[in-house]
Amino acid sequence: MSELYGACIIGQSGGPTSVINASAYGVIRTALDSKYITKVYGAAHGIKGVLDDDLYDMGAEAAYELELLLHTPSSALGSCRYKLKDSSVDDTDYKRILEIFKKYDVRYFFYNGGNDSMDTCNKISKYMQSVGYECRIMGVPKTIDNDLFGTDHCPGFASAAKYVATSCMELYHDSRVYDKNMICVVEIMGRHAGWLAASSAVAAYMGQGPDLVYVPEVDFDMEKFLADVERIYKESGECFVAVSEGIHDSTGKLIAEYGAENAPVDAFGHKQLGGLASTLVNILKERLGDVKMRGIELSLLQRCAAHCASETDVKESFLAGKSAVDFAVSGVTDKMVGFKRTTDENGNYKCEIALMELTDVANTEKKLPREWINEDGNGINKQYIDYIMPLIQGAPEMVFENGLPRFAKLKKVHPKQA
Amino acid sequence: MSELYGACIIGQSGGPTSVINASAYGVIRTALDSKYITKVYGAAHGIKGVLDDDLYDMGAEAAYELELLLHTPSSALGSCRYKLKDSSVDDTDYKRILEIFKKYDVRYFFYNGGNDSMDTCNKISKYMQSVGYECRIMGVPKTIDNDLFGTDHCPGFASAAKYVATSCMELYHDSRVYDKNMICVVEIMGRHAGWLAASSAVAAYMGQGPDLVYVPEVDFDMEKFLADVERIYKESGECFVAVSEGIHDSTGKLIAEYGAENAPVDAFGHKQLGGLASTLVNILKERLGDVKMRGIELSLLQRCAAHCASETDVKESFLAGKSAVDFAVSGVTDKMVGFKRTTDENGNYKCEIALMELTDVANTEKKLPREWINEDGNGINKQYIDYIMPLIQGAPEMVFENGLPRFAKLKKVHPKQA
């Protein structure tokens, strides 16, 4: 092991999750406790905070508040969607990052995000190597989409999945309460991958979930969809449908855009784009006429419902952050911390840390395997249930205040300038 | 006490809540354990189950499954929205109800619902008295709207409020994650009363909630609203708004209908009616231009999120059902069980059962007091926070299976016919 003393920066990037702060806490706590890491800085809004010299001194935070990050949703340090140019094209940002790294003697950089964030890590790492600045750079994954390559699953996915499955179960009960039942269409996040929408099938596995599930991995056929819903509705007097926001037809056109075709325009001349759920409900109404229907978009709720997180996910997310620091101080750099699924001596699920190449993660998207989707493309197979079951175990061990979750309140103190 | 032996029927009516089954369980468990009540029947879909002779034998259910009703959302027996005619106009339904009551020797009738259900109770009670059929009839309240007269609060309200406040806190964190923040408009149920939308102010009281709250008790002024949002957005770079679905202008016109004025029509010639949240977002976009905005409708989720119920509400809902039976067997009839707020010897919140006149409850709607809303009509005062705080305490003590809540599965056995 080569010993490297210096400060670290932790940044968060991309869409937040319920547990991204658990990973950040894993980094921050472990870094604060490390003898090699002299200072722990949080970057305000990811890499933008580095570029803007907008850092927080994490050592100035109360330990109790930091620990509350385990169950605080969204990105406590702030996030961004900033894409670094290739340094061969324009190295302005890289020079600035190097300047800030030198200013604060930053020798460790941890970036907590999705595949774009791994791309950022990778580019910074390559640049620092090219200019001979010693700095260990580690990616800590997060995404509710679960589409990161290499890792068995992603921190953040299971908590969103648990919220989706729980909400679908509850909606199932609600939507069947009257003697005249309804058709319910629930829209779930996931532009390119159906991992999250598929979690609604866990509710169905419990006998209380969607009749039909559509994911972007299979081309969506509107006629077949209408026939599916009509058949189930005629048989049982109700139909519950779960859809990924990213479902598309065989030409690649998003179904969410079908509603825009004839361009309804509001009083101000704006196209009124409903979401996918309301688009499908409108099309179903045309076919089925006077049937009670409801389109429900889980919207941002599904990615920030910390109160319904998976405690397994919370613990694994923390572990991902912690391991990133442990590996970095031991000499590892230029890697993403990922998960490998194994079993313990009793054959039970066990999650081990594995290191992934940043380049691989940055440029590959992991889809739901076709064989985990049923042949008709309107349901999810048992392999998926077996895959997700250990990930959604455990209710969050939260602190409450005034009957509501007590989320972390950070002071966000800027470091003293020399 | 006049001793009355016979069967009982429990029915559920109106929109469901997260805890309406806790009240039903209070009735069923207590009735099954009572020496006066010989049989306990559940009516399928409320009074319609009585009219259709569609009853379930609750004694045939497993005790464990019945206990799971405490945390099972929606109406387990099924609900209806059936309004009985006045018996002086048409007594067909009443004759049929009497026939069924005689057939099963029903001497106790418990109806679990909102003000329409209390009206149903009242009408049946009066009719049974008029024909000299001895039967004790009790109303057990439920509503997420909290608009029932006489009772300090309604079973079901606090759980919905807890979900709304929790979700608003989580959305607050999510909506502020980027350096360029967003305007977020959250639509909350409540057509005539703002009790539930006001619960978003608990999140604000925690420093993590809406900047603006609008309820139907105050006429909505669009110009003032736009100015409010613009001012806050310009000051802080973000704005979080919570609105009751029933907000209306000074002419009584619903704001949700503003979007329909110029009638955007979809490909099929249907008016595309967005919800209130999307209507307000569209109007805000016209004023503020290129600002990131999101309209979020909490939809059915807020009334069925049993996983986020208030355990205080669960326990009080159970108590309401139990007390209805206890009072009935002791000779009380023609009343609704309500709550009176008192304090214990240490000055802490205590909830006592009080009996209300069915007629009063059936015909009166309880609004949010004007003085609990701020002078500008865009926020909620401290009195409301003090009122709701004890009601939302306690996390639900649920049973989990496969990482998801284990909801009751009733066999729904029809009674053996003679």
Residues B231-276 have pLDDT tens digits of: 999 999 999 999 999 999 999 999 998 876 544 444 444 444 558 9
Q: What is the ipTM of this complex?
A: 0.95
CB-based contact, A412 to chain B, within 8 Å: no
| CB contact residues (below 8 A), chain B span 157-186, against chain A | 162, 165-167, 169-171, 173-179
Say which of B203, B296, B299 has its CB closest to residue A300: B296
For the purposes of burial, counting CB atoms within 10 Å of the CB of A387, is it exposed (0-12), middle (13-18) or buried (19 or more)? middle
Confidence of residue A417 (pLDDT cuts 50, 70, 90): confident
* Chain B: residue whose CA lies nearest to A174: B74
Confidence of residue A261 (pLDDT cuts 50, 70, 90): low
Helices B20-33 + B311-329 axis angle, to 10: 40
Least confident of A178-182, A225-229, B343-347, B412-416: A178-182
From A145, A147, A211, A313, the catalytic residue: A145
> pTM for this one?
0.96
Least confident of A104-113, A167-176, B250-259: B250-259
What pLDDT is stored for residue A260 in this prediction?
A: 63
Neighboring chain A residues of B178 at a CB cutoff of 8 Å? 45, 78-81
Say which of A165, A176, A304 has its CB closest to residue B171: A304
- Residues A287-317 have pLDDT tens digits of 998 899 999 999 999 999 999 999 999 999 9
A300/B175 touch (CB, cutoff 8 Å), yes or no: yes
What pLDDT is stored for residue B274 in this prediction?
A: 59
Neighboring chain B residues of A302 at a CB cutoff of 8 Å? none
What pLDDT is stored for residue B179 in this prediction?
A: 85
Main-chain phi, psi angles of A251, to 5 degrees: -90, -5
Task: Supply the DSSP symbol for A199.
Answer: T
Residue B285 and residue B290: Cα distance in Å, rounded? 7
A404/B392 touch (CB, cutoff 8 Å), yes or no: yes
Taking 70 as the threshold, does the pLDDT of residue A270 lie above it?
no
Least confident of B29-38, B173-182, B350-359: B173-182
What pLDDT is stored for residue A137 in this prediction?
A: 98
A266/B282 touch (CB, cutoff 8 Å), yes or no: yes
What letters, b where the CB count within 10 A reaches 16 and e where it falls short, cover A5-40? Answer: ebbbbbbbbbbbbbbbbbbbbbbbbbbbebebbbbb
In whole angstroms, how far apart are CA A291 and each of A210, A229, A393, B16, B78? 18, 12, 37, 20, 18
Edge-to-edge strands of the sheet including A239-244? A212-214, A239-244, A183-188, A293-297
B178/A78 touch (CB, cutoff 8 Å), yes or no: yes
A203/B404 touch (CB, cutoff 8 Å), yes or no: yes
Residue A18 and residue B341: Cα distance in Å, rounded? 37
Taking 70 as the threshold, does the pLDDT of residue A262 lie above it?
no
| Residue A331: strand pairing partners | none
Q: Diameter of chain A by CA atoms?
A: 74
What pLDDT is stored for residue A119 in this prediction?
A: 93
Neighboring chain B residues of A404 at a CB cutoff of 8 Å? 162, 165-166, 169, 202-203, 206, 392
Compute the average pLDDT of residues A18-47. 98
* Chain B: residue whose CA lies nearest to A303: B174
CB A175 within 8 A of CB A146: no
What pLDDT is stored for residue B272 in this prediction?
A: 47
Q: Which amino acid is at A257?
A: E
* Chain B: residue whose CA lies nearest to A47: B179
Residue A201 and residue B380: Cα distance in Å, rounded? 40
Q: How many CA atoms lie within 13 A of B13 on its CB side?
A: 27
Compute the average pLDDT of residues A270-277. 66
Residue B357 and residue B139: Cα distance in Å, rounded? 10
What pLDDT is stored for residue B307 in this prediction?
A: 97
Residue A93 and residue A97: Cα distance in Å, rounded? 6
CA angle A310, A316, A318 (to 5 degrees): 105
Taking 90 as the threshold, does the pLDDT of residue A257 lie above it?
no
A297/B297 touch (CB, cutoff 8 Å), yes or no: yes
Q: Which two tokens stand for residue A131?
A: 């200019």
Say which of A48, A73, A162 has its CB closest to residue B403: A162
Task: Supply the DSSP symbol for A2.
Answer: -
Task: Supply the DSSP symbol for B305.
Answer: -
Compute the average pLDDT of residues B326-344. 97
Taking 80 as the threshold, does the pLDDT of residue B116 lie above it?
yes
What pLDDT is stored for residue B263 in this prediction?
A: 41
Residue A97 and residue A51: Cα distance in Å, rounded? 6
CB B110 within 8 A of CB B24: no
- CA nearest to B122, candidates B366, B363, B365: B363
Say which of A73, A272, A405 has its CB closest to residue B282: A272
Residue B259 and residue B257: Cα distance in Å, rounded? 5
Average pLDDT, rounded, for chain B: 94
Taking 80 as the threshold, does the pLDDT of residue B391 lie above it?
yes
Residue A216: strand, helix, or coil: coil
Percent of chain A with pLDDT over 90: 89
Compute the average pLDDT of residues B136-155. 96
B169/A402 touch (CB, cutoff 8 Å), yes or no: no
Neighboring chain B residues of A259 at a CB cutoff of 8 Å? 266-267, 272
Residue A330 and residue A38: Cα distance in Å, rounded? 15
Confidence of residue B418 (pLDDT cuts 50, 70, 90): low
